[in-house]
Structure 1
Amino acid sequence: MLVRRTLSRAPAAFSGAGAGNARNMATLREIELRLKSVKNIEKITKTMKMIASSQLTKAQRAMNAGKEYGVANSEVFAHSSTTSAANTSRLFIVVSSDKGLCGGIHSSVTKATRRAFSGSEESPLLEAETKKPVEVDGDSPIFIVGDKSKSQLSRVLANNLRMTFNQIGRDIPTFADAAGVADLIIKSGVTYDSVVIVYNKFVSAVSYEPAVMEVRGESALKESDGFKAYEMEDDFTKDLAEFSLANAIYAALVEGHACEVSARRNAMDNASKNAGDMITALQMKYNRGRQASITNELVDIITGASAL
């Protein structure tokens, strides 16, 4: 009778233990699959960080060369008088790119543009003398370089969008890219007194900030006292305005590209560190689950042997 009672209890004990072990194994398999996927993600982020690090040197070299174009523009416009803010029609050019995985590099120029249109105290567009925010016409046209800022600004300033450009900045931007953008803007037929370029300014390898660059149009150059003092041909100011716009766009493109590469390297570095922390936590959880599963199996074996 004692043997029969023992044998009748043993199958129930083994079946319950088997169900528990099956659940544990299923959990361990899930952890193992997740651990494998996180390790693959870590490999990708580390590779992207290495690529961005190698590209950053070239981008900084191109940025330093491109800044000379912006300095030349500043020297030209330093001798031209500024028209009053109330009578100035502005055209905005927002410089971003088509690529992602680089932190908030695109949202920074988008927010700066929205602040300029809202006239808030944090607006990047300030008067030269009073350092107060410049009032911007709510109907000012916007031209966007890059699909990322296009998708963001189309939600709040869709009526202001006139033209967008993509496939610029996949590699280091060239002056031909900037000249093509400037030519299409001039041929668009939009009238303006000045062009405001919103871009990311390179501060260091780990930081950047949104900035603006204002370029005078043809009419502003004609009315300036510095240019009236000389006898010039009729097309001189027009050619100078077009060339100055291309210079400014090129300087903004190369500096924005350097900021993007730097931000992508930092973002991939942070992603690799987060993946490493997640791998450590998952590995510890897997080891604990494996130890618990082995312990349960040993307990089941000993219990079964004792029952028999």
Structure 2
Amino acid sequence: MFAVRTLARPAVATATSLSNAVQVRNMATLKEIQLRLKSVSNISKITKSMKMIASTKVAKAQRAMENARAYGNANNAVFLSAETKPASDSNSIFIAASSDRGLCGGIHSTVAKYTRNAIGGRPDVQVVVLGDKAKAQLSRTHRAAIALSFNQIGKDIPTFAEASAIVDIIKSSGVEFDNAHIVYNKFLSAISYEATAVEAYSEDTFKNSPNFAAFELEDDVLENLQEFTFANNVYWALVEGHAAEMAAKRSAMENATKNAGEMINKLTLTYNRGRQAVITNELIDIITGASAL
């Protein structure tokens, strides 16, 4: 009888050590899950706040976009009436309008992709980049083609003064062109957008239009008109791109908040299951110890 009790003691000790190991491992896991749950909850609060901020900015951006569209359509009506078209061997430049801000999905990638496809394999084309996001993407494939770049764009709704300053720097830098393709994200709805381009022409290109004589413009007036229409189209592209960016950011933050909520539910369920398993193991240990006594 003494031998049987002596042999049983190591088995009981082994079972107790295994139970303690499982309990310690579960406690560590529960602590990690609890920390992860707290981290995801904080991220959910941040994304929810960013969604609310983006929602307030979307309304203001849309109102500014409607005004910019009116002036932009007036520009296009002038060129359409004059039947302005660049020559087949014209010197073209591309202006990619984006911003410096992220957390808005792939909205900047569409501008960079459209610009790359439009440039194609032409080595003599120059590119002007508005915003650091498009610059980083275009630098990977067309670094040598980038003539100018601008940053500090996208913090607030763009203004016509900013567009005029950009045009002044482009003209003073010596970048010559017959027509400029201004690539931007066209606002379609609160959840959709597409990359497109609006044209701007030089004085000579506009002067060579078939119906230019009907306008009866003096040379100094023509120069002012060309600068105004160029700045106006840049302003249109920036403002409409900003509205599309704010809508995309709101959608991205809404999806991020939704994903964080789903992850919180899964982590909470996992934590409760693990905690229940630890409680069950402790009850088993108590009942086993009481039975042994």
The corresponding residue for 1:140 is: 125
CA RMSD of aligned residues (A): 1.6
Q: CA deviation at 1:85?
A: 4.7
1:109 maps to amino acid: V
Taking the TM superposition and a 5 Å limit, the aligned residue runs for 1:197-276 are 197-229=182-214, 231-276=216-261
1:211 maps to amino acid: T
SS at match of 2:88: helix
Structure-2 separation of matches of 1:5 and 1:224? 106
In the superposition, relative to structure 1, how do residues 68 and 194 fare at CA in structure 2: closer, same or farther (>3 Å)? same
- The number of residues matched between the two structures is 291
SS at match of 1:86: coil
* 1:115-141 per-position Cα deviation (integer Å, ceiling 9, x unaligned): 11228xxxxxxxxxxxxxxxxx43211
Aligned with residue 17 of structure 1, among 7, 19, 22 = 19
SS at match of 2:33: helix
Q: CA deviation at 1:78?
A: 1.0
Q: CA deviation at 1:231?
A: 4.3
Q: CA deviation at 1:218?
A: 0.9
| Alignment pair present for 1:36 and 2:38 | yes
Structure-1 separation of matches of 2:197 and 2:216? 32
The corresponding residue for 2:154 is: 169
1:58 maps to amino acid: K
SS at match of 1:100: coil
Structure-1 separation of matches of 2:82 and 2:215? 13
* 1:61-84 per-position Cα deviation (integer Å, ceiling 9, x unaligned): 111111112011111101223445
| Alignment pair present for 1:292 and 2:277 | yes
The corresponding residue for 2:138 is: 153
SS at match of 2:204: helix
* 1:202-257 per-position Cα deviation (integer Å, ceiling 9, x unaligned): 00111111111011111111212322345433222222111110000111111000
1:300 maps to amino acid: D
Aligned with residue 183 of structure 1, among 150, 153, 168 = 168
The corresponding residue for 2:120 is: 118
Aligned with residue 99 of structure 1, among 101, 105, 112 = 101
Gaps of 5+ in 2: none
Structure-1 separation of matches of 2:207 and 2:95? 23
The corresponding residue for 2:287 is: 302
The corresponding residue for 1:52 is: 54
Gaps of 5+ in 1: 120-136
Identity %: 54
Structure-2 separation of matches of 1:304 and 1:63? 75
Structure-2 separation of matches of 1:201 and 1:22? 57
Structure-1 separation of matches of 2:83 and 2:63? 33
Greater Cα shift, 86-95 or 110-119: 110-119
Q: CA deviation at 1:190?
A: 1.4
